[in-house]
Amino acid sequence: MNVNTQWVKEFLAHKEYGHFTFKKLNNAYPFFDFPKDLIKTVDEEDFIKQEKNVLPVFLATSIGGTFPYKMEENIKLFRGQLVAVLNKNLLSGGMYELSICKVKYNSKYVQKSFVNRIP
């Protein structure tokens, strides 16, 4: 496991969230390192659709950008749902945190974070 995905071991061992998988919107992100068996690529309709134990992924960057842009602008579509937010450094390409967030109103509130720990 490389340094960008150290969080995976902690995530998979978590009692409440470790069985979740993820979905990303097709053609809407810069490259990010993510275990292929935990994520699927979907169209916009499936990205918005609520699925049990499958979380839509948002990618937040160190310079303030969020992908996919269109979904971040329409976060209210996910009200009451859990979403995943991956925090990535665009310069180094490093991914340093996965947060599971609950969407309330037009904001996201972190429920649990899984952070890369650099030895």
> Tell me, what's the pLDDT at 43?
93
Contact 68, 58 (CB under 8 A): yes
Q: For residue 86, is pLDDT > 50?
A: yes
Distances (CA, A) of 11 to 17, 33, 38, 97, 115: 7, 15, 11, 11, 9
Q: Which residue type, as a one-letter code, is found at position 33? A: D
Length of the chain: 119
* Residue 62 in this model has a pLDDT that exceeds 50: yes
Q: Which residues pair with 10 in a beta bridge?
A: none
Q: What is the pTM of this model?
A: 0.80
Closest CA to 75 of 113, 110, 103, 47: 103
CA 85 to chain centre: 3
More confident residue, 72 or 46: 46
Whether the CB-CB separation of 99 and 115 falls below 8 Å is answered with no
User: Between 114 and 26, where is the model more confident?
Assistant: 26
1 has a pLDDT exceeding 50: no
Domain range list for the chain: 3-115
